[in-house]
Amino acid sequence: MLQRIQTVYLLLATGVSAGLIFVFHLWVNNAGVAVFAKDNLLYLGLFLGSALLSLVSVFRYNNRKSQFVLGRLNIILNFILLGFFVYQSLNVSGETYVSEKGIGMFLPIISIVFLVLANKAIKKDEDLVKSVDRLR
């Protein structure tokens, strides 16, 4: 399980989605207060859902197809989260709630990169197993 590279990528995606959201702020509001993902229940739920999907995908190493599907679902979930952040930051009705963007808004992009790398490695393993089955 841990000897495969996709496990490392999935664990890194889990760390980004579950750990770094408490370190990096999402944005700074008009009052100068840093807003973290734990302050908004929707963002916290989406980040933790992404981390949970990555962790479940790590333990599905026996079934590569379901691992691949869980990775795709997780990528879609991170794109939804990124869409919420883009909507929040581009809401330009006068002075917005977001006055300064933080690095936490880019965490879904980092997670998507790790998930794409993991899915690429899962696909490579699946192709290798199929080619060995053809030789039998």
Q: Is pLDDT of 136 > 80?
A: no
Higher-confidence position of 107 and 97: 107
Report pLDDT for 94: 52
pLDDT digits over 49-79, tens only? 999 999 999 998 888 899 999 999 999 999 9
Length of the chain: 136
45-62 core/surface letters (b: 16 or more CB in 10 A; e: else): ebbebbbebbbebbebbe
Section 82-109 average pLDDT: 76
